[in-house]
């Protein structure tokens, strides 16, 4: 039995613990009048946001669709409150000499602890068998991609007040960038009827398992238990959401091959036995939205299947057979 629940014995007496901090000397923030938020109205026609009072914000339509249905002359809708960036309290703080940086991504979803083979497992195997030079911060890219993915497909995991997804802390700039990319996707949906239907109707984060999925590599037959998790699932087929540094169509097409997104889509299609698939990718550079539609037996699918069949065979060879 522990003295402090899940904390180690004696933790309640540690002067560095937050519960032993002195009470802060509160001062009123002049920027937000002590409310802690700024309130904005979004003008649908001009695509601009205007700061307003909390009282005015409460009277605005909840969504753009409701505003348009009401045929408002201003055609404004609510925007999520933005946390005030100005310090609202004067703290009696001590200098932290050994800050701890969180480097492990956390997700309460049990999908990531399952034993079936995923496309990510094939990627890790490829990195071991065929290492290549890594450019940029791979962990930071994955971390930011997880933020965008959560905002668009799993908003319940996002805490806008504390700027966290689950227990992972993000900065104001990261949140603003991710929200700008989300906004760009929504704007694209206004002229892309298929994307609009995806955002409105698709089931998000749909989990699937392929039991004893059959594979053939160079006429050799074997099987693996497989799994995948769709960003969007539409009942008979689905698709994937990506963030990318590509800023042109050519760069996006190159990314599909270079980052093995073709392999990912073929893997997902064969687990679900679907004949169609799609990718929507949002540029981290200019917020441009790219899209790619894949059909069974087209060039992208065949190339992706060839990639995963070789890696799946190598994975099978390295797996103890019972």
The answer to whether residue 8 is domain-embedded is: no
Residues 118 and 49 in one domain: no
User: For residue 78, what are the CA distances in angstroms to 41, 60, 67, 74?
Assistant: 5, 6, 9, 12
Residues 216 and 309 in one domain: yes
Residues 51 and 140 in one domain: no
State how beta strands 25-26 and 89-90 pair: antiparallel
Residues 254 and 179 in one domain: yes
How far is the C-alpha of 272 from the C-alpha of 63, rounded, in Å? 34
Residues 157 and 262 in one domain: yes
Per-residue pLDDT, 7 = 37
User: For residue 319, what are the CA distances in angstroms to 97, 111, 260, 314?
Assistant: 46, 20, 23, 9
The answer to whether residue 46 is domain-embedded is: yes
Count of C-beta atoms within a 10 Å radius of residue 120:
13
Contact partners, residue 67, CB within 8 Å, separation at least 6 = 44, 60, 61, 75, 76, 77
Per-residue pLDDT, 67 = 65
The last residue of one of the domains, among 48, 63, 95, is: 95
Residues 199 and 275 in one domain: yes
Which residue, 81, 39, 72, 73, is CA-closest to 56?
39
Residues 88 and 130 in one domain: no
Kindly list the strands in the beta sheet with 164-165, ordered across the sheet, starting from the edge strand earlier in the chain.
Answer: 158-159, 164-165, 168-169
Per-residue pLDDT, 99 = 29
How far is the C-alpha of 176 from the C-alpha of 269, rounded, in Å? 33
Residues 277 and 167 in one domain: yes
Per-residue pLDDT, 245 = 92
List beta partners, residue 37: 83
Q: Average pLDDT across each block of 10 residues of the chain; the chain has 322 residues. List them in order.
A: 38 43 51 62 69 69 67 50 41 30 45 90 93 77 93 95 93 96 97 97 95 94 96 97 95 95 98 98 97 97 98 93 69
Residues 123 and 88 in one domain: no
Residues 33 and 136 in one domain: no
How far is the C-alpha of 226 from the C-alpha of 212, rounded, in Å? 8
Write out the E strands in 177-317: 203-217, 220-233, 238-244, 276-283, 289-295
The answer to whether residue 258 is domain-embedded is: yes
Residues 192 and 228 in one domain: yes
The answer to whether residue 11 is domain-embedded is: no
List, as one string, the DSSP characters of 13-32: G-TTSGGGSPPPEE---TTT
Which residue, 251, 297, 306, 259, is CA-closest to 277?
297
How far is the C-alpha of 233 from the C-alpha of 221, rounded, in Å? 30
Per-residue pLDDT, 16 = 42
The CATH number for 193's domain is: 3.90.320.10
Per-residue pLDDT, 216 = 94
CB 243 within 8 A of CB 285: no
Q: How many domains does the chain have?
A: 2
The answer to whether residue 5 is domain-embedded is: no
**Buried b / exposed e along 268-287 (16+ C-beta atoms within 10 A):** bbbbbebebbbbbbbbbeeb
The last residue of one of the domains, among 95, 129, 154, is: 95
- Structural domain that includes position 310: 101-105+114-322
Residues 125 and 70 in one domain: no
Which residue, 10, 40, 225, is CA-closest to 114?
225
């Amino acid at each position: 039995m522990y003295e402090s629940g899940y904390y180690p014995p004696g933790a309640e007496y540690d002067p560095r613990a937050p519960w032993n901090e002195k009470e802060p000397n509160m001062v009123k923030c002049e920027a937000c009048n002590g409310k802690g938020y700024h309130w904005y109205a979004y003008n649908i026609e001009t695509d601009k946001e205007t700061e307003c009072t909390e009282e005015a914000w409460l009277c605005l339509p909840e969504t753009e669709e409701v505003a348009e249905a009401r045929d408002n002359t201003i055609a404004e809708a609510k925007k999520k409150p933005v946390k005030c960036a100005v310090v609202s309290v004067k703290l009696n703080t001590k200098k932290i000499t050994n800050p701890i940086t969180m480097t492990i991504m956390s997700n309460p979803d049990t999908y990531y602890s399952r034993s079936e083979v995923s496309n990510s497992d094939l990627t890790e195997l490829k990195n071991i068998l065929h290492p290549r030079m890594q450019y940029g911060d791979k962990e930071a890219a994955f971390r930011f991609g997880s933020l965008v993915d959560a905002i668009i497909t799993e908003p319940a995991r996002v805490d806008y007040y504390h700027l966290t997804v689950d227990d992972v802390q993000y900065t104001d700039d990261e949140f603003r960038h991710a929200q700008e990319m989300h906004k760009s996707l929504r704007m694209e949906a206004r002229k892309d009827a298929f994307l609009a239907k995806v955002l409105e109707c698709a089931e998000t984060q749909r989990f699937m398992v392929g039991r004893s999925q059959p594979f053939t590599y160079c006429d050799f037959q074997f099987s693996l238990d497989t799994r995948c998790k769709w960003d969007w699932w539409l009942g008979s087929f689905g698709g994937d959401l990506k963030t990318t540094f590509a800023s042109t169509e050519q760069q996006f097409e190159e990314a599909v091959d270079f980052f093995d997104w073709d392999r990912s889509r073929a893997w997902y299609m064969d687990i679900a036995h679907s004949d169609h698939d799609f990718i929507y990718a949002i540029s981290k550079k200019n917020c441009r939205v790219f899209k790619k539609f894949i059909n069974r037996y087209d060039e992208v699918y065949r190339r992706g299947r060839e990639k995963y069949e070789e890696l799946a065979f190598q994975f099978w060879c390295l797996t103890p057979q019972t």
